[in-house]
Structure 1
């Protein structure tokens, strides 16, 4: 019975190592984008510094426990990967982001971990040391698992799962399940308890993804139909008439006006018997006609 329990513990530990390794590799597409653009843009260094700090804490705790070798293996790999991410970030980040990253490294990795190491070594001994470090790991892991609550609130508010990748949520949920059973079989509740919260939040994330992802698909379909209708309406729209030039010969029009106006005038003059005035009026009416044309746009 004890042998079967040991094999089962080993199996969950190995599976936890595999899934956690995949989770550690999940930011690779992000850093590929950084490499292509030669800039970190709006990406933050905090998740990688926190990941490095967490991995160092768990290695220290596993060394004190002496029977949690699988914790040491995966967190050693995690330290190496997170350290690589941080170096990569510092290489491509602008000056301001570099300074913030360095400050966070000093605060958590150097000062924070250094104080935990020194205080537990000098102020605690034996089993008390492992208990204290275990509680620190427990509290810190709970804080890390609570962090996605901001993402869940954003998903509910915007009704969009754009910033909540489903594959990462599934991987984190599986990782929490494996490490929960590993801690439970080891009877180490410092390992088991935080992963209960991680499993719970992972299930909630997946439920929200399937709820709001379907709504997003429906919205996209409606928008596509609307755009298609607009396109058809534009294709059926009658083309506007082209501009046309109308040329008016001012001299010709003035002459025409003279021909219509003068006979009436002459008729009136003839009735009054003033023949000489007719000639004066005719020459005066047609003398100042301009000799040019006007183009009118219609």
Structure 2
């Protein structure tokens, strides 16, 4: 077996696992839709994952890091899925949470636009772009995996894991 074949097999396995991560919150969103309320669930993990997927999708483009079709496809899929989650969260949130969600997403859009602009205008080869975008992707990947912990204050305070996104936390652990 050559290295390209191994890379493709590992990439496909990674995509299957990542897809599992992206769809793991479905039970939470089914509950939100049935209750017609987000109750005490937090949008943080989905907002952070949206930016993470956008950065990884950009990283996988040929202008940043050639030959990364699998990175683009799974993170593009994740981007769409996370956008749907945020839209559902927005629809079933009270007024104040609407504003917080809009602000968070706008900050992410501006941040992403700045990253794209800087990387395309100040880094003139794929090696430089891959390095800077890759580092950002790793940082936001770490933030994404820790984002489910934002509910820990409530878990400790209430001594209940009721609003801890169980399947998302489990998928992150796996």
- TM-score grouping bracket, smaller chain normalisation: 0.7 to 0.9
Task: Name the counterpart of 1:42.
Answer: 40
Tell me: CA distance 1:23–1:131, structure 2 relative to 1, closer, same or farther (3 Å). Answer: same
Which protein, 1 or 2, shows the higher relative CO under an 8 Å CA cutoff with sep ≥ 6? 2
Q: How does 1:45-64 map to 2 (within 5 A)?
A: 45-63=43-61, 64=64
Question: Please, what TM-score do these two structures have when normalized by structure 2?
Answer: 0.83
Task: Give how far 1:148 is off.
Answer: 5.6
Q: How does 1:94-243 map to 2 (within 5 A)?
A: 94-108=94-108, 110-126=109-125, 127-147=127-147, 163=164, 165=166, 168-174=168-174
Runs of 5+ unmatched residues, structure 1: 175-298
Q: Aligned equivalents of 1:160 and 1:91: distance in 2? A: 26
Q: What value does the CA root-mean-square deviation take over the aligned residues?
A: 2.7
Task: Give how far 1:8 is off.
Answer: 2.1
Corresponding residue pairs, total: 170
Q: Aligned equivalents of 2:143 and 2:56: distance in 1? A: 15
Question: Which stretch of structure 1 is more off in the superposition, 117-126 or 152-161?
Answer: 152-161
Tell me: CA distance 1:156–1:76, structure 2 relative to 1, closer, same or farther (3 Å). Answer: same
Q: Aligned equivalents of 2:8 and 2:29: distance in 1? A: 33
Cα deviation, 1:194-247, whole Å, max 9, x if unaligned, reads xxxxxxxxxxxxxxxxxxxxxxxxxxxxxxxxxxxxxxxxxxxxxxxxxxxxxx
Q: Aligned equivalents of 1:160 and 1:41: distance in 2? A: 14
Task: Name the counterpart of 2:75.
Answer: 75
Task: Name the counterpart of 2:19.
Answer: 21
Q: Aligned equivalents of 1:153 and 1:42: distance in 2? A: 12
Tell me: CA distance 1:114–1:42, structure 2 relative to 1, closer, same or farther (3 Å). Answer: same
Does the CA-based 8 Å contact 2:42-2:151 persist in structure 1?
A: no
Question: Please, what TM-score do these two structures have when normalized by structure 1?
Answer: 0.51
Task: Give how far 1:134 is off.
Answer: 1.1
Runs of 5+ unmatched residues, structure 2: none
Task: Give how far 1:10 is off.
Answer: 1.5
Tell me: CA distance 1:74–1:154, structure 2 relative to 1, closer, same or farther (3 Å). Answer: same
Task: Give how far 1:13 is off.
Answer: 1.1
Task: Name the counterpart of 1:84.
Answer: 84
Q: Describe the SS at the equivalent of 1:40.
A: coil
Does the CA-based 8 Å contact 1:46-1:104 persist in structure 2?
A: no
Q: Which has the larger radius of gyration?
A: 1
Q: Describe the SS at the equivalent of 1:65.
A: coil
